[in-house]
Amino acid sequence: MILVDKDVNNSKKFTEEVGLPNQTFKNVKKALAWLSFLAFFSVLNETVFNVALPDIAKQFVVPPAVANWVNTSFILSFSIGSAIYGKISDMYGIKKLLIIGLLTYSAGSLFGILAYAYLPAIIAARFIQGAGASAVPALIMVIIARHVRSEDRGKAFGLVGSLVAVGEGMGPVIGGMIAHYVHWSFLFIIPMMTLVSIPFFLKVLPNESVSKGQIDILGVLLLSIGIVMFTLYTMQYNWIYIVISVVLFVGFSLHIRRAKEPFIEPSLFRKRKFIIGVLTGCILLGTVAGFISMVPYMMRDVHQLTTVMIGSGIIFPGTMSVIVFGIIGGTLVDKRGNTFVLSLGLFLSIFSFLIISLFLDETPWLMTGMLIFTFGGLSFIKTVISNSVADSLEPEEAGAGMGMLNFACFLSEGIGIAVVGGMLTKRTLDFPLLPTVENAASFLYSNVLLVFIIVMTIGWALYTLAFRRK
């Protein structure tokens, strides 16, 4: 969920403050090709491992709560890194940060392929990958804003956005094919392809002047460790983790009120609609992310599908439908308003959850059709949350506010995956409930889907109470 506003505002402010001329690429088509290339591979790695999680769990003989950390660790560092790179791009320059990010991304990939036989190393490699990959979405929009001619920017933003959507869609397909026909560990090789773009950006990006500033290191550490502790709690349900996380979050809250340049602006927490909009986005997007992470386990346990079939036959059609639904959602928001579109998106998602929950036993292809509704609803939800949060902010708050939205929603997706992993491991909901579900392998998944419906309904109620006039 990456928005343009934050980076464009920062780039304009930076240019005005330090007097940097608006540099342009001489070969715009070549520049756009390389930027799109980076955008594609940065988001591809968010989804490429998803279909391989059951294979990883089987190889290491671990429950889903542990295996899901292969994705959770990437998303946690990706979300935190995105916020950090966005804040320090004016301080250190885009060129240096982008190269560091790409090298870190590839270093994590190399470490992963070399240490694939040791699960803690795999999780660490994914964490390193996320820290490097986060530089791409955080900086790519700034590059376009600063170094692409104004008459070509619309084309650039549109092209990059399209490649992001395609990357998200192709991830499960590529991941499924490699995991099935070769081995899941070879998925670590894919991000190393981004190294071929480094010579181009070293040549064309200028060595920018930098502005003075400081990084709120203490704030980053307090928040990051607190998030990790909370996520560990969702995996093991050990009260020590939740106590530590609460202490760290309280410490972070006190710290940002005193820091000169806090990691998150404390004034944003006093804006009711903004906070509820972000919280709603976290609830809804985290729930859908958790559901998507559960699909491979569900299809493997209930219908014994192969990894390649899950990726290409089950998940791929739904992910690609996001492109179409994204266009429709933007048009509907302008014509019918935020509340209508959010309600429509939630209806599509909840409808798909209910049908899957009721008829999970029948055929795996039911999941293919329902995932189109799920991803369509997700596209509507993202559009509305972005629009609603933006409307709740003053122009001077747009950069910090939209950056916080991106950060929070990325985090919620990682936490959602961890929570679902914990639910599948604890198996508290593994009992017959719905009369239409007779296969014992389906009980747990069917009941978890009912929990998703309840959580999504709570998110809808929270939004309508705050934005009912919209």
Asked whether residue 202 carries a pLDDT value surpassing 50, the answer given is yes
Q: Please work out, in degrees rounded to the nearest 5, the angle formed at the alpha carbon of residue 292 by the alpha carbons of 178 and 290.
A: 125
The mean pLDDT of the chain is 85
249 and 323 inside one domain: no
252 and 275 inside one domain: no
The burial class, CB within 10 Å (0-12 / 13-18 / 19+), for 284 is buried
Q: Where is the domain boundary, 203, 228, 260?
A: 260
Q: Kindly report which listed range (186-195, 258-267, 346-355) carries the lowest average pLDDT score.
A: 258-267
170 and 306 inside one domain: no
Q: Look at residue 323 in the predicted model and tell me its pLDDT.
A: 75
470 and 357 inside one domain: yes
What do you get for the CA distance between the two ends of the chain, in Å?
A: 22
Asked whether residue 70 carries a pLDDT value surpassing 60, the answer given is yes
208 and 225 inside one domain: no
Q: Look at residue 21 in the predicted model and tell me its pLDDT.
A: 40
299-303: Cβ within 8 A, 24+ apart: 299/364, 299/367, 300/54, 301/441, 301/445, 302/360, 302/361, 302/364, 302/439, 302/441, 302/442, 302/445, 303/363, 303/364
Q: Look at residue 13 in the predicted model and tell me its pLDDT.
A: 44
Q: Which of 235-249, 397-411, 432-446 tops mean pLDDT?
A: 432-446
Asked whether residue 360 carries a pLDDT value surpassing 80, the answer given is yes
Asked whether residue 9 carries a pLDDT value surpassing 50, the answer given is no
Asked whether residue 58 carries a pLDDT value surpassing 80, the answer given is yes
Q: How many domains does the chain have?
A: 3
203 and 222 inside one domain: no
8-state DSSP, 315: I
Q: Look at residue 158 in the predicted model and tell me its pLDDT.
A: 62
CA distance 257 to 150: 38
Asked whether residue 29 carries a pLDDT value surpassing 70, the answer given is no
Report yes or no: 341 and 464 within 8 Å, Cβ to Cβ.
no
200 and 290 inside one domain: no
303 and 443 inside one domain: yes
111 and 242 inside one domain: no
Closest CA relative to residue 137, chosen from 451, 409, 357: 409
Average pLDDT over residues 31-44: 79
8-state DSSP, 26: S
43 and 152 inside one domain: yes
140 and 23 inside one domain: yes
Confidence of residue 47 (pLDDT cuts 50, 70, 90): confident
Q: Look at residue 17 in the predicted model and tell me its pLDDT.
A: 39
pTM across the whole model: 0.85
Domain at 361, CATH number: 1.20.1250.20
% pLDDT > 70, the chain = 87
**Residue 152 sits in which domain range?**
1-213
Q: Tens of pLDDT along 389-413?
A: 888 888 777 767 877 887 888 889 8
Helices (H), 182-271: 198-204, 217-236, 239-256
86 and 161 inside one domain: yes
